[in-house]
A and B are shown apart, each in its own frame.
Chain A
Amino acid sequence: MSSLHQDLINYFERGAPEDGSGKALIESLPYLKFLGIQTSPQQDGTVLTTLPFKDELVGNAQLPAIHGGVIGSFLEVTAIVQLIWIGQAQFMPRTVNMTVDYMRSGRAAPLYGRAIVSKLGRRLSNVRVECWQSDPEKLTAVAIGNFLTTQDKG
């Protein structure tokens, strides 16, 4: 078991984003740190993820619009964080597949994400994810994905 992953589980179990420790932990994951993704467990059992805007994330410099791949990455991270949070998994979930529907371009503003675990399976879990900017009713993109939540290799 990865010690980092255990730290991540401990962070979610503590659910204490106020002291900044969780933020530091999430930011210790290089790609999440690079994107700048933050997490905040909510009362309703979901984890709200936030991606503050920065110039590096732009895909179309003229609009400007956030890169579609950044939005896809953000949705994938949101799904995995939610799986860890509700599943209290002892290992990092692994993505089997993800399908992203892009509905609006991501503007130069923070992006928010939340995921619903449709089924938490012993081996395979199904997750729906959505993200938005100013209005949660106006979704930027949604995704549906399958994740391996077993430690079996292969």
Chain B
Amino acid sequence: MSDNPDIEEAAGQLISHVPFANAIGIRIISAEKGKVTAKVPYADHLIGDPDSGIIHGGVITAMLDNVCGSSVISALPAPMAIATIDLRIDYMRPAEAGKDIFCTTECYRLTRAVAFVRGVAYTDSPDKPIAHCAGSFMLAANRSDPIGANTTASMIGEMLAKNDGDAS
């Protein structure tokens, strides 16, 4: 899936420090500065309607929230703690039963205090979205030491630098 296995591995760390992200099975499949794509494999415990087998909308909420945060971290010049200010999600269609869910999120504007994000969730193609989201994150949001973010932001930075080096 990914042409950048190193970045994939590094970006995976963005998720491994988050217990709930592990619990619903979020996996980052590609990452670049300010843009992250991730996957939640279809699983029985995520079903919202047992009759249809459709995944609960809340799973998509959690996924978009988390991966939007990852895209902010990947865009930051220096590691810092972040917190969601607000997140709006538009649901356009249910996710088809049995299909893995993907999402791509983008941090499209970074100020000193606030990061702005948008994202799309889909199963087969981003052109046929399940949901769109738009939100904002507070930067340097709390005093927790951003160990996970710290490690991964710098790791991604290194990977990107290495990638640029390879490309030139």
**A residues bordering B, Cβ < 8 Å?**
2-4, 28-35, 55-63, 66-70, 72-74, 76-77, 92, 94-102, 105
Nearest CB in chain B to that of A58: its residue: B19
Query: Contact between A95 and B57 (Cβ–Cβ < 8 Å)?
Result: yes
Which residue on chain A has the smallest CB distance to residue B55?
A31
Query: Could you mark each residue 4-42 of chain B with 1 if its beta carbon is under 8 Å from any beta carbon of chain A, else 0?
Result: 000000000000011111010000000000000000000
Give Cα distance in the complex from A31 to B61, angstroms: 13
B contact face: mostly helix, strand, loop, or mixed: mixed
Binds A, one of B45-53, B108-116, B121-129: B45-53
Taking CB atoms, residues of chain A closer than 8 Å to B51 are 2-4
Does the CB pair A73–B50 fall under 8 Å?
A: no
Bound CA span A92–B64, Å: 23
B76 at interface by CB-CB < 8 Å: no
Q: List 30 A-B contacts (CB under 8 A).
A: A2-B49, A3-B51, A29-B48, A31-B47, A31-B56, A32-B56, A35-B58, A56-B20, A59-B21, A60-B81, A62-B147, A63-B142, A66-B20, A67-B18, A68-B65, A69-B58, A69-B61, A69-B64, A70-B20, A73-B56, A94-B94, A96-B90, A98-B88, A99-B87, A99-B89, A100-B61, A100-B84, A101-B85, A102-B87, A105-B83
Contacting B61 at CB < 8 Å: which of A28, A29, A58, A98?
A98
Q: Which residue of B lies closest to A37 (CB)?
A: B58
In the complex, the number of residue pairs spanning A and B with C-beta atoms less than 8 Å apart equals 133
Q: Determine the chain A residues whose CB is within 8 A of the CB of B147 once the complex forms.
A: 62
Q: Are A69 and B44 in contact (CB under 8 A)?
A: no
Closest residue to B91 on the A side, CB-wise?
Answer: A95
Report Cα–Cα, A68/B66, bound state, in Å: 8
The count of chain B contact residues (Cβ–Cβ below 8 Å) is: 42
Please, how many angstroms separate the alpha-carbon atoms of A38 and B90 in the complex? Answer: 26
Q: How far is the CB of A130 from chain B (nearest CB, A)?
A: 14
- The answer to whether B3 has its CB under 8 Å from any CB of chain A is no
A61 and B90 contact, CB distance less than 8 A: no
